[in-house]
Chains A and B, each alone.
Chain A
């Protein structure tokens, strides 16, 4: 079953002489449970494609279908709800909310979803346990190492039990050992929950964890 279907998508930034073609004629289908890795040099269009799949950027031409929905047809509120329930995000620079503790960061998507407190707490604690962060539940992000922050970010991405997780260079800011731990964790979650992961990287080690690899160059999928 396809969780992502991209047909003939172009993305153009700017207009006229300063227009930049970020994506050209992208066709891509991603199956549920895949670990798809997008590789390419800086400026090749990896992040733009990820943003498109993540519904935070819209194509200039072409159609997108994510988990059975065309994001272009959703209102802001519906799109927010859709993201909350369907897509998890992991960023290179973790992007935790600095004024919230590890627990609160993971809890946030569930609050937005309106989940009752008791159920919310159980789910957050379960995820924090899964990523090995139970001892740091009440720590603020500035008290955590890069690896710990990324674990919290992964817990946050998974807490809503989203079927699709987008990870933009998730280990780029981590040392080799921590990066490997994070990748092992992602693979374990992929295998146990059949969560679909789509991630970008420059790193061949990271790419080796993928079940499928695509390469991008100048806004096109080249292999």
Chain B
């Protein structure tokens, strides 16, 4: 307890130096908090837009091979016992909707232009949740069951030069190896924000697609949950229900299917690590400098404490406590400052982020640091401060008592 008192009062001895050290820790922690808040918001946005642009939270398919070749072979992967699966899963409290879907590749022609499109076929009455982030930017969404209508991604429409009201021709292989073609009316142009999707996807009614390809049934059941955080637990429930009822199907969570999200997460967290590293380095140098200066100034006092019976470990503890107090105080003030700066930036809405790689739209940055970010920052600041204090504290403990009391 006396060491705590001594450490605290010693920090107040040279207020300017303590304030400067605190300032460097606070600025580092503030930048970490703000950046962490930005990453969380950005990744949250990317996650939700990925899920609600048609991927869903959980996909149930016939088997794992579907995810590698199913899009090109919807006939080989038609799900068995679709209604049984729906009745098993829909009652789960975390499940909001179970939506059947088939995806197939098709050639698409308009006037003298031909391209390729992946058609995502879902019922026209599909709950808005699944496609919440797919915006209809021109025309309207699908509304008539079994009507030969199509909504095209903005990239597809642009490359074909198609406008709402135009008719395009789809040409695809059907069950048994035949070929089928159909003229469909472009009723809408959509944008998901993910350029990769907008350049390749089109949307049509599942019933129409089933007839067009002579499908036996949907190849995917898409689970939309009440919240994304319950994905893992719901996935376990779904898998155990499928196993219990002898249904031969595979369930996969969204994050195993969203390659772009995984890459973006890796990129953002790599950047975060670099920033953390810089903050840690700045804090380490600031703390080492402060504690070393403090040791130099107090050589004689260290000698006196040793003469009065303080062992070396007590001197080490004293200086480490000083470092830890600096780190804790800097961390806590940095967290408060981080929340404050985030609030001001969110309130102002001044920061426009240009479209990230692979995205088609920029956005106004929002900063949402979490409690865990705050806790991590405080622990990091205190931990780094303790580590940075060890060397000068050890040096202090090794000062010869006789030399220390002669020190002027």
Same assembly: yes
A residues lining the B interface (CB < 8 Å): 47, 51, 54, 56-57, 76-77, 80-81, 83-85, 89, 91, 95, 97-100, 104, 108-109, 111-113, 156, 160
| Number of residues of chain B lying within 8 A (CB) of chain A | 26
Q: CB-CB < 8 A to B13: which residues of A? A: 98-99
| Complex CA distance for A108 and B1, rounded to whole angstroms | 11
Chain A CB within 8 A of B314 CB: yes
| Complex CA distance for A113 and B305, rounded to whole angstroms | 13
17 extra interface residue pairs, beta carbon distance < 8 Å, beyond A56-B303, A80-B312, A160-B309: A51-B405, A54-B307, A56-B401, A56-B405, A77-B313, A80-B306, A83-B307, A83-B309, A84-B308, A91-B405, A97-B301, A97-B304, A97-B305, A99-B10, A100-B9, A108-B308, A111-B1
With a 10 A CB-CB cut-off, give which of A56, A76, A91 has the most chain B CB atoms: A56
Q: Mark each residue of chain B from 4 to 36: 1 if its CB lies under 8 Å from any CB of chain A, else 0.
A: 011001101100000000000000000000000
Chain A CB within 8 A of B344 CB: no
Whole-angstrom distance between the Cβ of B290 and the nearest chain A Cβ: 16
Question: Are the C-beta atoms of A156 and B308 separated by less than 8 Å?
Answer: yes
Instruction: Select which of A81, A95, A113 is within 8 A of B405 by beta carbon.
Output: A95
Whole-angstrom distance between the Cβ of B141 and the nearest chain A Cβ: 72
| Complex CA distance for A89 and B300, rounded to whole angstroms | 14
Chain A CB within 8 A of B262 CB: no
Q: CB-CB < 8 A to A89: which residues of B? A: 307-308
Q: CB-CB < 8 A to A100: which residues of B? A: 5-6, 9
Given the known inter-chain contacts A99-B9, A99-B10, A99-B13, please indicate yes or no for A112 contacting B402, CB distance below 8 A: no
Q: CB-CB < 8 A to B306: which residues of A? A: 56, 80
Instruction: Select which of A47, A51, A99, A112 is within 8 A of B309 by beta carbon.
Output: A112
| Complex CA distance for A97 and B401, rounded to whole angstroms | 15
Q: CB-CB < 8 A to A91: which residues of B? A: 405
| Smallest Cβ-Cβ distance to B2: which chain A residue | A111
Question: Are the C-beta atoms of A80 and B309 separated by less than 8 Å?
Answer: yes
Q: CB-CB < 8 A to B12: which residues of A? A: 99
B residues lining the A interface (CB < 8 Å): 1-2, 5-6, 9-10, 12-13, 300-301, 303-314, 401-402, 405-406
Q: Give the interface SS of chain B, mostly helix, strand, loop or mixed.
A: helix
| Complex CA distance for A113 and B306, rounded to whole angstroms | 13
Question: Are the C-beta atoms of B2 and A80 separated by less than 8 Å?
Answer: no
Given the known inter-chain contacts A51-B402, A99-B13, please indicate yes or no for A80 contacting B310, CB distance below 8 A: yes
Q: What are 30 inter-chain pairs, A to B, with CB distance below 8 A?
A: A54-B307, A77-B311, A80-B306, A80-B309, A80-B310, A81-B309, A81-B311, A83-B307, A83-B309, A84-B309, A91-B405, A95-B300, A95-B304, A97-B6, A97-B301, A97-B304, A97-B305, A98-B13, A99-B9, A99-B10, A99-B13, A100-B5, A100-B6, A104-B2, A104-B5, A111-B1, A112-B308, A112-B310, A113-B309, A160-B309
Question: Are the C-beta atoms of A112 and B314 separated by less than 8 Å?
Answer: yes
Q: CB-CB < 8 A to A104: which residues of B? A: 2, 5
With a 10 A CB-CB cut-off, give which of B10, B301, B401 has the most chain A CB atoms: B401
Q: CB-CB < 8 A to B304: which residues of A? A: 95, 97
Whole-angstrom distance between the Cβ of B407 and the nearest chain A Cβ: 11
| Smallest Cβ-Cβ distance to B307: which chain A residue | A89
Given the known inter-chain contacts A57-B402, A95-B405, please indicate yes or no for A80 contacting B311, CB distance below 8 A: yes
| Smallest Cβ-Cβ distance to A89: which chain B residue | B307
| Complex CA distance for A142 and B300, rounded to whole angstroms | 16
Q: CB-CB < 8 A to A112: which residues of B? A: 308-310, 314
Q: CB-CB < 8 A to A99: which residues of B? A: 6, 9-10, 12-13
Whole-angstrom distance between the Cβ of B38 and the nearest chain A Cβ: 42
